[in-house]
Amino acid sequence: MFRNITIGQYIPGDSVVHKLDPRIKIIITFIFIVAIFFINKLSGYLFAVLYLYLVIAISKIPFSYILKGLRPVIIILLLTVSLNMFFTPGGTILYTLGPLKITTSGLRLAVFMGLRLIFLIIGTSLLTLTTSPISLTDGIEHILKPFSRIGIPAHELAMMMTIALRFIPTLIEEAEKIMKAQMARGADFESGNIVKRAKGLVPLLVPLFISAFRRADELAVAMESRCYRGGQNRTRMKQLKIQPRDYEALAVTLIMVLLIVWNRVWTW
């Protein structure tokens, strides 16, 4: 179950997507997220699908690995689709189930919300799968650096966000070890209803939280022992430089956005 989580994991590679400047990749991801919420017609999602297919093919990441990241959110996805389908009024009534009614407006909104959630997960997963934690930290810090003039700690925020993403695979591995140890002692995490399964997670969550706090304390001690002082007079071995391929990737993304905008305007 936990191995299906792909957000926060990094797959080393030498593809063009891996070599892109992290700042450009972060900006592209933000543009893609905004463009997804701008779509108001099913045909508009075709451009997003073609764009994601192009990125996945160039990055050389197995498509099955991308789909595996959707498994942990299946319950959230089904819940989102169900709530929008049964509780959205308007349109023609298609089916009635007691007090619940499925309308054309509810069905349309449910499909839209489900597709948006899927594309958001895939888009953010591609960012972390193709960007190392160090590069991601440098990219976030450079983007937030102009805000340091008004007192926003750019380096500290970038470091916290990257450490949080970096520790997702570590905590997943730790959770699997604890789960196997608890199952060897007779714990049951798979049978029963939802309430019983939730209660069964208590023997897993308590040691997982203790392990997370212990790792955080060890990381803080290690950073202090190395005289870590944040972004004060900090130099980098590798300087970030925008290459022509970065502008090309940004141009392809903007073309996708223009197609989505054209599709929305054409709908009007």
Per-residue pLDDT at 235: 64
* Neighbouring-strand partners of residue 103: 93
Per-residue pLDDT at 247: 92
Regions of the chain where pLDDT drops below 50:
none
User: How would you label 72-94 residue by residue, b for 16+ Cβ within 10 Å and e otherwise?
Assistant: bbeeebeebbeebbbebeeeeee
Per-residue pLDDT at 50: 92
**184 and 103 together in one domain:** no
Helix locations, the chain, DSSP H: 16-19, 22-38, 44-59, 63-68, 74-86, 104-129, 133-144, 154-184, 194-200, 202-225, 244-267
**92 and 40 together in one domain:** yes
The pTM is what?
0.75
**124 and 23 together in one domain:** yes
User: Could you tell me if residue 146 is inside a domain?
Assistant: no
pLDDT in tens, 151-179: 777 777 777 877 777 777 777 778 888 88
Provide the Cα torsion 65, 67, 68, 69; round to 10°.
Answer: 100
User: Could you tell me if residue 72 is inside a domain?
Assistant: yes
Per-residue pLDDT at 5: 63
User: Could you tell me if residue 140 is inside a domain?
Assistant: no
Please, which residues have CB within 8 angstroms of residue 42's CB and are 6 or more apart in sequence?
111
Per-residue pLDDT at 192: 66
User: Could you tell me if residue 144 is inside a domain?
Assistant: no
**127 and 247 together in one domain:** yes
Instruction: Give which of 104, 74, 99, 75 is closest to 89, Cα–Cα.
Output: 104
User: Could you tell me if residue 55 is inside a domain?
Assistant: yes
**116 and 198 together in one domain:** no
Q: HSE of 122 in the Cβ direction (CA atoms, 13 Å)?
A: 24
Cα separation, 168 vs 159, whole angstroms = 14
Q: Count of CB atoms within 10 A of residue 217's CB?
A: 10
The domain in which residue 166 lies consists of: 153-226
Per-residue pLDDT at 205: 79
User: Could you tell me if residue 85 is inside a domain?
Assistant: yes
**123 and 247 together in one domain:** yes
Cα separation, 169 vs 175, whole angstroms = 10
User: Could you tell me if residue 203 is inside a domain?
Assistant: yes
**89 and 185 together in one domain:** no
Instruction: Count how many domains the chain has.
Output: 2
**217 and 249 together in one domain:** no
Please answer whether residues 214 and 171 qualify as being in contact, where contact means their C-beta atoms are separated by less than 8 angstroms: no
Would you state the structure tokens that stand for residue 178, as one six-digit string? 């604890």
**34 and 103 together in one domain:** yes
**119 and 179 together in one domain:** no
Please answer whether residues 35 and 257 qualify as being in contact, where contact means their C-beta atoms are separated by less than 8 angstroms: yes
Q: HSE of 79 in the Cβ direction (CA atoms, 13 Å)?
A: 5
Q: HSE of 234 in the Cβ direction (CA atoms, 13 Å)?
A: 13
**112 and 177 together in one domain:** no
User: Could you tell me if residue 31 is inside a domain?
Assistant: yes
**214 and 250 together in one domain:** no
Q: For Cα atoms 25, 240, 9, give the angle at the middle one, nearest 5 degrees.
A: 45
